[in-house]
Amino acid sequence: MLKKTRRALALTALVLVAGFGGLAFVPGEVDPVAWTPATTMPLEGALAPNNRLQAAQPVARGELYGPEDIDVDSEGRFYAALEDGRIARVTADGAVEDWVNTGGRPLGMDFDPTGNLVVCDALKGLLSIAPDGTVTTLATEADGLAFGFADDVDVGSDGVIYFSDASWRWKYPNFMNDLFESKPYGRLLRYDPRQGEAEVLADSLYFANGVALSSDESFVLVNETFRGRISRVWLRGPKTGTRDVFAEGLPGYPDGVASDGRGKFYVAMGSITNPVGAFVAPRPWIRRLISRLPSALWPKPIRYGLVIIFNEAGEVVETLHDPDSETVFEVTSAQPSFKGLLLGNLHDDAFYVLPPAQ
């Protein structure tokens, strides 16, 4: 089966070359480099497929589109970051309110200790939204380099904000060029409200996405989506300021990550590994060619619902699946809360809540 897949991929590559001639070798705006993916974790053991995500319940079906991240306030009201720039609020009785429109593309969100909703907006930067809906821009650059794609955020107990700039080079909505190039344009950043400016904690990341602090806030995780990897940056202790690999070879593309505050991280997987990705990784000329095709002809992500739960030692302890994507697919955020596990996505018209296990 594997040999047939490789032959099919090779044949596809030859057809593309024949059809587009030397276009794949002509320099252009997208300048890919070769790389070798890590060995992918098999879907077995703690990663073995199950149907647990199929118990998730949709919220506000038909009234929301692309609710990438979800949070909940102390009153049990949901907040959803939408594709059209809105942050919608869903009340306890299910009513949807157009709470705020950032004028950009809000993504990751987290409440700070004073009740403000801190938002990473791919177009507007790092924002803080007061309970009355007043929007304040906190930062749009760090170390003299403007954010290209403010992505996800986690706020510490002291109010210090940790967030990602997925790609300073390829801005929203052209982020797929970051995948085609496979160069490290991502950054992990920190914003201390007392200082009023952002600083770089780690750079040279491969599409820096989800961000989450450990339960004791001694380290922070950042997902490198297009490497199938999670990196860890130490904030306290003998390793302060250093970076290491928390987990790699994930069976897909990690998007958001959130801590339950009790020693577990919930990693939302946007999709599972596509064999085409492994084939084209060491062949930059194919990725250059694909980048020049209409997006309708690009390889499509595999529809699959998956959340991977790690302990703070980097071990997989549990997984939640929807293999047939009957209910949930393309999970972009998985936020533990007193209301259940809140599940965001990019291309559905509802978000989902997985009730707590009985």
Domain boundaries, the chain: 2-354
Task: Determine if residue 196 is left, alpha or beta; phi over 0 gives left, psi from -120 to 50 gives alpha, anything else beta.
Answer: left
For position 357, what pLDDT does the model report? 75
Q: Which two tokens stand for residue 181?
A: 């190039």
Peptide bond into 173 cis (omega under 30): yes
Consecutive H or E run containing 232? strand 229-234
Q: How many other C-beta atoms are found inside a 10 Å radius of the C-beta of residue 283? A: 15
> What is 73-102 written as a DSSP string?
-TTS-EEEE-TTSEEEEE-TTS-EEEEEE-
Average pLDDT of the residues of the chain: 93
| pTM score | 0.93
Q: What is the dihedral of CA 264, 255, 151, 290, to 10 degrees?
A: 160
pLDDT digits (tens, 9 = 90+) for 1-54: 444 445 545 545 544 454 454 555 555 699 999 999 999 999 999 999 999 999
Topology of the domain covering 2-354: Neuraminidase (2.120.10)
